[in-house]
Structure 1
Amino acid sequence: MNAPTYTLDEASRDYPRVTEVLEYVGDNWRDHPDLDTLATLAGLSPHHFQRVFSRWVGLSPKKYINALAHGTAREAMADGASVLDASFEAGLSGPGRLHDLFIAHEAVTPGDARRRGRGLSFRWGLAPTLFGPGVFLIAPRGLSALAFADPDEASAFADLEARYPAAEFVRDDALAREWADRIFVDPGDKPIPLALYGTPWQRQVWRALLAIPAGATTTYKSIAEKVCTPKASRAVGAAVGANPISWLIPCHRVLAGNGKLTGYHWGVERKRAMLAYEAARR
């Protein structure tokens, strides 16, 4: 008998508990906190927490903590540490399968961007995602924005609407749900069309983000080196921050030079959750 499907509604509901635990584990994994400790933090029984965490992350809590240890040990050995010094519990890689994401990057002219959306008609709606409630903005050519409803749906939509103040907006939650399923449930092997409205510089940076593999990270300086010069890190940071399409254009994979999770428009806790989700499936 096949296991029950884990729906987007369930994943969105579980997201707050899981992210709180991921933050704690990120600070304390070297102590190998046990299942009871993590379950208490989540406010669930150990059995229920094990099920919730494993379904959302794709790994059990123990395997996820061992994956963090494995990555740290691998880096230590690459830096010259002995096997003894970098020892870790091996053989606990994630069971999740990897989905390649194919994106057709469709941009518009600078003139379209300067018109602030005049003449454009968007449909927008709210739908569950793996990372909490999502707000989708859809143009005739494709997806123009994917944000998260933080702190609430109205604020998230206002943030997107302000990008195109002269455009027409029609609410369509059913269409948003179709896009949520297409992105998070069954991406298949067809490109996901994006209708991006931004300056040439922004689109250049966004293209560089698309080149970062799932499960990998880079820095603002590294992106700047690819698109222009290392001295452009601050300008790159501004373009990354202006990215309207979370997850698909993976600005969550860009870290500060010191490796810290900083500068994510939709919250550091969500950035941590996204990286953990991808790492577990790498």
Structure 2
Amino acid sequence: MSVAAMTEDQCWDAMRRRDKAYDGRFIVGVLTTGIYCRPSCGARQPLRANVRFFADGAAARMAGLRPCKRCLPDDVGRDEAAVLSAIAAIKGSEEPLALADLARRTGYSPTHFQRVFTRHTGLSPAAYARALREERARAALSEGSRVTDAIYDAGFSGPSRFYDMMEGRMGMTASAWVNGGKGATIHWAVVPTSLGDMLVAATDKGVCRLSFAEGREALENRFPAATLVEGGGAFEALLQEVVDAVETPAQGFDHIPIDVKGTAFQEAVWRELRKIPAGETRSYSDIAAAVGRPNAVRAAGSANGANNVAVLIPCHRVVRSDGSLGGYAYGLKIKEELLKREVK
């Protein structure tokens, strides 16, 4: 969505939030200082009456403004090119690339490049590389590859390195992942709520499934070899927290642990969903831009739909660009009710 497709109020709101997702989508001109900035510029924010919005730096310069020396608004295009170049290098390298090496390739200092990369992707270069290796490993394991082969093919130096990195991330061992959860224990329950019966399931790492109008069979299909235990003492306390989060979502639920797995892109989308404040919504294009892939609106929608933990990963807070609710896996009535409950 460019400035031409946004209202001035939308631009102003993005600027007041210093929302990095809008960098490159429009330019903020400050008439009293004669400069133009990115929406996310950290400089002191001006009065609304002193601000104009432009499509790009060229339009701002035509109006007699000069670029801000703090946020360097004309470097947005260069930043994107640098990030894409680094991603290509990371994907094409058999060995992990040092931050200094990536920065040298793009012409930035290591510290500045780290900030630029993180702003565009939501991950540091090192975290992005790790997520890419994990994604490759999971894909290979899901296809039935031998665990050792999958580990080396994904770019890990050996099994010990793989298991060290996966500690606390996959929720179960690699062999359990490929074998339908073999060796893993998942506690579960179906509880009545004001929105209907709700399935909640959790590993020892956190909630791995939250859905409506589903039962044990949904878990059996996903983890056919896991040990499924209904209820359980420690699980009861977590279950009550989840029920409270559904009944009163405006109170917040970031403290509830979750155990979810996806591709690097899906997990980046889910992280952005968890950043949306209660009572607010974002469009699919907003989410795509926030993860550094402004053209991947459909992919962002697919990642939104692949969410296995309703409410706790609040995919119900994503709406269409025109403000209409769009779809929801458990029906628009539930989505509408969740949004209504979040208005403080």
- TM-score of Structure 1 vs Structure 2, range by shorter chain: 0.5 to 0.7
2:170 corresponds to: 108
Do structure 1's residue 138 and structure 2's residue 197 form an aligned pair?
A: no
Any conservation in 2 of the 1:136–1:147 contact (CA below 8 Å)?
A: yes
Match of 1:271 in 2: 335
TM-fit CA distance, 1:156: 4.0
1:196 has 2:260 as partner: yes
Question: Any idea what the Cα deviations from partners look like across 1:40-96, whole Å, max 9, x if unmatched?
Answer: xxxxxxxxxxxxxxxxxxxxxxxxxxxxxxxxxxxxxxxxxxxxxxxxxxxxxxxxx
Structure-2 separation of matches of 1:258 and 1:190: 28
**Deviation sequence 1:128-177 (CA, Å, 0-9, x none):** 3342221111101111111112xxxxx44333432333322122277665
- Taking the aligned partners of 2:231 and 2:194, their CA distance within structure 1 comes to 20
Per the alignment, residue 222 of structure 2 pairs with: 163
Q: Is residue 206–residue 259 contact of structure 2 (8 Å, CA) maintained in 1?
A: yes
Match of 1:228 in 2: 292
Q: Distance in 1 between matches of 2:235 and 2:211?
A: 12
Moved more, 187-196 or 159-168: 187-196
Corresponding position: 1:247 with 2:311: yes
- Is 1:118 the counterpart of 2:163? The answer is no
Residue 116 to residue 232, structure 1, CA distance change in 2 (3 Å): farther
CA distance in 2, matches of 1:131, 1:189: 17
- State the distance in 1 between where 2:279 and 2:181 align: 34
The Cα shift of 1:257 comes to: 2.0
Match of 1:258 among 299, 308, 322: 322
Question: Counterpart of 1:108 in structure 2: which amino acid?
Answer: M
CA apart distance, 1:124: 1.1
Q: Distance in 2 between matches of 1:117 and 1:235?
A: 27
Which stretches of structure 1, 4 residues or longer, exceed 4 Å deviation after superposition? Answer: 109-115, 173-177, 186-190
Q: 2:240 aligns with which of 181, 184, 190?
A: 181
Q: For residues 257 and 118 of structure 1, do their structure 2 counterparts lie closer, same or farther at Cα, with a shift above 3 Å needed?
A: farther
Amino acid of the residue matched to residue 332 of structure 2?
V
Counterpart amino acid of 1:179? Answer: L
CA shift digits 1:113-133 (9 cap, x unpaired) = 555423321111111334222
- Larger mean CA deviation between 229-238 and 169-178 belongs to 169-178
Hey, what does 1:76 align to over in structure 2? none
Q: Give runs of aligned pairs for residues 212-223 of structure 1, distance below 5 A.
A: 212-223=276-287
What is the Cα deviation at residue 181 of structure 1?
A: 2.1
Whole-Å separation in 2 of the counterparts to 1:219 and 1:242? 17
- 8 Å CA contact retained: 1:113, 1:198: no
- Residue-pair matches, total: 170
Structure 1 residues 131 and 163 mapped into 2: Cα distance closer, same or farther (>3 Å)?
same
Instruction: Tell me the equivalent position of 1:172.
Output: 231
Query: Structure 1 regions of 5+ residues with no counterpart?
Result: 1-105, 150-154
CA–CA distance in 1 between the matches of 2:268 and 2:169? Answer: 10
Larger radius of gyration: 2
Give deviations 1:199-254, integer Å, cap 9, x for gaps: 32221111010000000000111100111322211111111111111111100000
Partner of residue 73, structure 1? none
- Hey, what's the Cα distance between the residues in 2 that align with 1:144 and 1:232? 26
Q: Is the 8 A contact 2:190 2:215 kept in 1?
A: no
Letter in 2 for 1:167: A
1:120 to 1:184, Cα distance in 2 relative to 1, 3 A:
same
* 204-213 or 112-121, which deviates more: 112-121
Distance between the aligned counterparts of 2:234 and 2:329, measured in 1?
24
Return the alpha-carbon distance in structure 2 between the equivalents of residues 219 and 107 of structure 1: 29
Q: Does the CA contact (< 8 Å) of 2:253 and 2:312 recur in 1?
A: no
Extract unaligned runs of 5+ from structure 2: 1-167, 246-250
Q: Is the alpha carbon distance of 1:233 and 1:166 closer, same or farther for their aligned partners in structure 2, counting shifts above 3 Å?
A: farther
Q: What residue is the counterpart of 2:274 in the other structure?
A: 210
Q: Is contact 2:252–2:278 with CA below 8 Å preserved after alignment?
A: no
